[in-house]
């Protein structure tokens, strides 16, 4: 029996596939544009040696000289944003270049590609990477090796590793550049060097780090700075090799943010679920006097009570969070129970999906692990970041690596997994940190947005209903909605044209008294706030339709449109209303069109083709142009794309 066309071991394109590739190229070489003559090559876009499939979606028609020139030295395949960032780097003609890309978008792969390209062009002779932690130092070396770029991870105290024979370069941490490490790095740069500064904002953790970095890598030919989120200037700890705007915000040379990544299918969409609750505590340092009549006598009360969602001074926010985060009070046990129920829903579709709790302190993390053991029957691992203890960091890395490869439900961390750690199966998170800065918040969000093949799920992050954290969530979701609208406009245009601390905490005289059970306040999705009632209705509708409850939040806009339409019908007069008044129908059409745009981009990403190619495939499948499609036609289009996504 002949092999089926999609068998991965089949290397040669069939006669019909060659014909399809020739016709798709209009008889011209895809690379140089010359006429294809006898002996032209049907070539793999992603090389067969790298598990590229033998089918027309991964094929291209090349003339013989172009295919032979391509050879085995082909660099890794890039996403569209990565190719644009490479072009922007060369166009800038600057020694320093800052890229801000959302976690999970592929900053490491982009950087290693650029390093390989600079080496092949003869612009540099070696590569050096500076990372924020020992864990990331080893991770960079591993990923560089997998990409064919041997970089040596220099251990603390190893004076020979900075220019080790047999390696193209080295990987060190910012801390290693203090003292002799900086001079050793500078000495190694007698040869032309390309330097990658990962999460460069860490160079501002203290003034000495920035000064050491400047001295160590100043001789480099090019310096590529990477970050997940732009930051503002810290006058006490200036960060070298970056520019700032007049308002003190870092000036980015190329940006690829979360909204664009979701629109391109590079990252998952995330739902923010905010929970309120009441906290009670005492604070002898701040005596609030109020008269309480009890048995006819007046008393002085030093007790404070507040709801998380209320507007209150920063000091009260900190105290309220300290209280509700206590494992012994009702808020955290109820939060963890809700989170585990969410994880169970997700695991119906993704059996190895996992959850992460970000804790404020080590003793709190241990308490959460005990609570999760009571809920699930299994005690999750607890990882602690301690940069002063190298052995401890190695233990933490081992725990994280084991969890990444396993199928366990939960992992608890004390700000250990805020950046740089890749665990793509994380799908549910609990934010139990007092840190409210946008940088840290987005780093945590980045742990849950990494995609895997053949997964169509929304990640979920549970947060306290504190106004500042809610504001960060809204900003991220508004950014997503804006990028989706831009993507839709670009596709339409193409069609028209034909184309905190890890220790035990500080001395604190406040005394937490109690915390109520958590109360679901609202979810934030696509910039809209979803109430508890709406989410419950959506979950019931999902169950009725045979859709996993994990997708319930996506149904809310449709249910709103249906409810509005029903209300219009119920209150309408017997006289027929003109179609122009049917606003709910338009909203439904707009929602479906956005869903089609998003899914088409995801299919394009999975097939490694351009979005316009998916548009052509839809037309060939008998669907009309999206700009002219009716609601029913859009629904049919969405069904077709869903099938393609499952096959890709």
Strand order in the sheet with 254-256: 151-153, 169-173, 126-131, 193-197, 222-227, 96-101, 254-256
Quick one: what percent of the chain has pLDDT higher than 90? 20
pLDDT for 177 equals: 92
Mean pLDDT of the chain: 76
CATH 3.40.50.300 residue ranges of the chain are 270-489+501-522
Pairing of strands 270-276, 459-464: parallel
**Which fold, 270-489+501-522?**
Rossmann fold (3.40.50)
Alpha helices in 218-330 (DSSP H): 258-263, 314-324
**Which of the residue ranges 27-31, 34-38, 221-225, 240-244 has the most confident prediction, judged by mean pLDDT?**
221-225
**Which of the residue ranges 11-15, 90-94, 439-443 has the most confident prediction, judged by mean pLDDT?**
90-94
Higher pLDDT, 67 or 189: 189
CATH 3.40.50.10810 residue ranges of the chain are 80-256
Higher pLDDT, 582 or 286: 286
Burial degree of 330 (CB within 10 A; 0-12, 13-18, 19+): middle
CA dihedral 341, 347, 352, 357 (to 10 degrees): -30
93 — pLDDT class (breaks 50, 70, 90): confident
CATH-assigned architecture of domain 15-70: 3-Layer(aba) Sandwich (3.40)
Quick one: what percent of the chain has pLDDT higher than 70? 68
236 — pLDDT class (breaks 50, 70, 90): low
pLDDT for 51 equals: 58
pLDDT for 530 equals: 67
3-state secondary structure of 140: helix
For the full predicted model, state whether its pTM sits above 0.95. Answer: no
Per residue in 16-53, pLDDT (tens digit) is 677 677 766 767 777 666 777 767 788 876 665 555 67
Tokens 């084991």 appear where? 402
pLDDT > 70? residue 107? yes
Q: Are 32 and 70 in contact (CB under 8 A)?
A: no
CATH 3.40.1800.10 residue ranges of the chain are 15-70
Q: Considering only CA atoms, which of 446, 455, 472 is closest in space to residue 108?
A: 446
pLDDT > 50? residue 501? no
Per residue in 286-340, pLDDT (tens digit) is 654 443 444 445 445 577 888 888 888 888 888 889 888 999 988 999 999 999 9
pLDDT for 194 equals: 97
Burial degree of 257 (CB within 10 A; 0-12, 13-18, 19+): buried
Across 611-622, average pLDDT:
87
Burial degree of 553 (CB within 10 A; 0-12, 13-18, 19+): buried
pLDDT for 596 equals: 81
- Superfamily of chain region 80-256: Tandem AAA-ATPase domain (3.40.50.10810)
């Amino acid at each position: 029996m002949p092999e089926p066309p999609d068998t991965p071991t089949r290397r040669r394109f069939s006669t019909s596939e060659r014909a399809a590739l020739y016709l798709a190229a209009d008889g011209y070489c895809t690379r140089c544009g010359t006429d294809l003559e006898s002996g032209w090559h049907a070539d793999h876009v992603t090389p067969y040696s790298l598990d590229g499939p033998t089918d027309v979606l991964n094929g291209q028609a090349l003339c013989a000289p172009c295919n032979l020139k391509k050879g085995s030295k082909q660099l890794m395949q890039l996403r569209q944003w990565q190719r644009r960032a490479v072009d922007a780097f060369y166009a800038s003609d600057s020694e320093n270049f800052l890229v801000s890309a959302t976690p999970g978008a592929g900053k490491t792969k982009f950087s290693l590609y650029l390093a390989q390209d600079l080496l092949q062009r003869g612009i540099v002779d070696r590569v050096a990477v500076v990372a924020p932690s020992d864990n990331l130092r080893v991770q960079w070396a591993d990923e560089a090796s997998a990409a064919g770029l041997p970089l040596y991870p220099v251990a603390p105290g190893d004076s020979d590793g900075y220019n080790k024979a047999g390696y193209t370069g080295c990987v060190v941490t910012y801390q290693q550049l203090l003292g002799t490490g900086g001079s050793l790095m500078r000495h190694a740069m007698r040869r032309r060097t390309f330097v990658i500064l990962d999460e460069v904002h860490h160079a501002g953790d203290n003034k000495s780090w920035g000064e050491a970095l400047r001295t160590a890598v100043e001789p480099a030919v090019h310096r590529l700075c990477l970050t997940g989120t732009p930051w503002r200037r810290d006058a006490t700890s200036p960060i070298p090799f970056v520019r700032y705007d007049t308002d003190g915000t870092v000036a980015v040379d190329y940006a690829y943010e979360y909204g664009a990544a979701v629109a391109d299918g590079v990252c998952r969409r995330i739902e923010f679920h905010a929970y309120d609750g009441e906290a009670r505590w005492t604070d002898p340092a701040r005596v609030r006097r109020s008269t309480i009549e009890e048995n006819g006598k007046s008393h002085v009360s030093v007790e404070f009570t507040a709801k998380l969602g209320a507007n209150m001074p920063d000091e009260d926010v900190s105290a309220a969070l300290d209280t509700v985060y206590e494992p012994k009070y009702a808020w955290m046990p109820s939060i963890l129970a809700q989170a585990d129920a969410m994880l169970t829903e997700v695991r119906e579709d993704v059996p190895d999906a996992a959850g992460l709790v970000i804790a404020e302190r080590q003793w709190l993390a241990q308490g959460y692990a005990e609570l999760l053991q009571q809920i699930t029957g299994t005690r999750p691992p607890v990882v602690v970041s301690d940069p002063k203890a190298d052995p401890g960091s190695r233990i933490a890395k081992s725990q994280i690596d084991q969890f990444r490869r396993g199928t366990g439900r939960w992992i608890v961390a004390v700000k250990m997994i805020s950046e740089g750690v890749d665990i793509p199966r994380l799908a549910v998170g609990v934010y139990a940190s007092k840190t409210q800065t946008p940088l840290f918040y987005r780093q945590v969000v980045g742990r849950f947005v990494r995609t895997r093949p053949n997964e169509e799920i929304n990640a979920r992050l549970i947060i306290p209903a504190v106004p500042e954290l809610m504001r960060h969530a809204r900003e991220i979701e508004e950014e997503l909605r804006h990028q989706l609208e831009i993507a839709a406009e670009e596709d339409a245009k193409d069609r028209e044209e034909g184309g905190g601390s890890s220790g035990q905490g500080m001395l604190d005289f406040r005394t937490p008294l109690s915390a109520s059970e958590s109360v679901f306040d609202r979810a934030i999705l696509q910039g809209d706030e979803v109430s508890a009632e709406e989410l419950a209705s959506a979950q019931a509708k999902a169950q009725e339709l045979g859709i996993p409850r994990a997708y319930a939040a996506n149904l809310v806009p449709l249910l709103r449109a249906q409810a509005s339409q029903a209300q219009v019908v119920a209150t309408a007069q017997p006289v027929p209303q003109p179609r122009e008044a049917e606003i709910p129908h338009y909203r439904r059409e707009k929602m479906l069109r956005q869903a089609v745009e998003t899914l088409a981009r995801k299919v394009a990403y999975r097939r490694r083709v351009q979005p316009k190619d998916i548009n052509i495939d839809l037309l060939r499948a008998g669907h009309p142009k999206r700009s002219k499609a009716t609601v029913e036609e859009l629904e049919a289009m969405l069904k077709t794309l869903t099938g393609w996504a499952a096959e890709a």
